[in-house]
Chain A
Amino acid sequence: MKILVFLLFCVFGFSRAELIRVFAAADLQYALKEIVELYEKKYPEDKIELIFGSSGKGFAQIRAGAPFHIYFSANMKYVEELYREGYITTEPKLYAVGRIVVWTRKDSPLDPSKFPEVLLDPRVKRIAIANWEHAPYGRASKEALQAYGVFEKIKDKLVLGDNISQTASFVYSGAAEVGIIALSLALAPQMQAKGKYWLIPEEKHERLAQGYGITKEGEKFKSVKRFYHFVGSPEARKILVKYGFLLPGEVGR
């Protein structure tokens, strides 16, 4: 019995340490990790934990009481909704307008710039896109496919990733021949080394306004606010721009 009490004590004691817990849309997978590295070098006393997933999942988890301090969504609407409901206490702030690309491996004979014809190529057995029910990039991908008038034709070839990062891993591993993924992921070193991509024109889908905010849970911590402001600083912006996260009016590399 004493051991049990001791173990329980360890459990509760251990989990009480404070840190900045960030839920971020999966398209931030690489960019945000770089920003955090820079931030932690500057403020070594702060510790940041990143959790990546689809924006819809983060939205649902925050409403269910998940202990996240900052929420980055690939779709502004989720942040606005949480703000209206009081789960997010800072006014939703835009950090980028997202873009989607057609991606194939370098060793594939397919040419992504031949979009949308490339999807109808008989060698294409599987096309990876994110699940449009809860991933904003999936919704944009579906809209683009519809705008090009190919959605109905290729519907049976679609494999749905849970979030945009999983979608990228489907094409990266070769499980799907073509994928529609976030530009930010295509610009990540691993993906760039292995693949080629073509940027889908912005007017083919609804604008992917991406926003973030501090949650009710994170409001009380000074360090949370510090990181929140850091993301908007010029040095963090430089990293975001490198990954194609542009604000209106901002120029890429």
Chain B
Amino acid sequence: MTDINPVPIWLTVKLSLLTTLVLLIIGIPISYYLAYTKSRLGLVIEALTTLPLVLPPTVLGFYLLLLFSKEGFIGPLWYKVFDRQLVFHFEGIVIASVIYSLPMMVHPLTSGFRSVPKNIIEASWTLGRSKIETLFRVILPNMKASVLTGIVLSFAHTIGEFGVVLMVGGNIEGQTRVVSIAIYDAVEAIDYKTAHVYASLLFMLSFISLVMLYAVNRRWSL
């Protein structure tokens, strides 16, 4: 009983990596649109992507719970396709985390896109490069720092997630009991030793990722 269970650690890392990957894939098109659009719809979408930052996790958790439940909008569909529920399962907290950490990816990327000088982009277009090619060969390499910031912040933010996971995932070992929840559990069980180990681990992990982020950012901005 005294040894530390590694499952929550592995689960936290898996959740954070997967969430960051999904966010990178959907974050680039969203941010690209937000950075260059002039339509009013852009404002609405920008506000929507920032919402998870200001809403309490319980609001998000509550709506996701409704959405994922058997009577919800996504729940029955998912059940039909994958034969398992979203609530109380790992896939459910991945979706929840993606929404929860969305601003952490979209904000740095959007400001990154805006910082790339318009004339380089136009030069690339006039030289016959397609929009997609320009995006990957010209724009993204010119905003490496922003991409990295988005990745690190999404990763760190997902590690620190608690409320949404607790509401949507419950507290199930190997599925949804990530480290932050395992800490809560250990404190309740008056197992302060386990709580210390997990807590210091999260502290170090978050601290190191942020230091690395700032170190790389400083080098790239010079």
> Could you list which residues of chain A lie within 8 angstroms of chain B, going by C-beta atoms?
3-4, 7, 10-12, 14-15, 17, 19, 21, 26, 29, 33, 37, 49-53, 61, 64-67, 163, 165-166, 168-169, 172, 190-191
Q: CB distance B188 to A65 under 8 Å? A: no
A-B complex: 10 closest residue pairs judged by Cβ atoms: A49-B173, A165-B188, A166-B188, A66-B88, A65-B85, A169-B190, A172-B190, A190-B190, A29-B189, A51-B171
A21 to B173, CA, bound (A): 9
Q: CB distance A15 to B175 under 8 Å? A: yes
User: A107 → chain B, closest Cβ, in Å?
Assistant: 16
Q: How large is the interface on B (under 10, 10 to 19, 20 to 34, 35 or more residues)?
A: 20 to 34
Does B187 make an interface contact (CB < 8 A)? yes
User: B197 → chain A, closest Cβ, in Å?
Assistant: 17
A12, A67, A166, A191: the one within 8 Å of B88 (CB): A67
Residues of B within 8 Å of A168, CB to CB, are 190
Residues of B within 8 Å of A21, CB to CB, are 172-173
A3, A26, A50, A64: the one within 8 Å of B188 (CB): A26
Q: CB distance A4 to B188 under 8 Å? A: no
Q: CB distance B21 to A7 under 8 Å? A: yes
Known: A65-B87, A169-B190. A11 touches B18 (CB 8 A): yes
Residues of B within 8 Å of A7, CB to CB, are 17-18, 21
**Other contacts beyond A29-B189, A61-B170, A165-B190: 15, CB < 8 A:** A3-B21, A10-B14, A11-B91, A26-B188, A49-B172, A49-B173, A49-B174, A51-B171, A51-B173, A52-B189, A64-B87, A65-B85, A65-B87, A165-B188, A169-B190
A197 to B172, CA, bound (A): 33
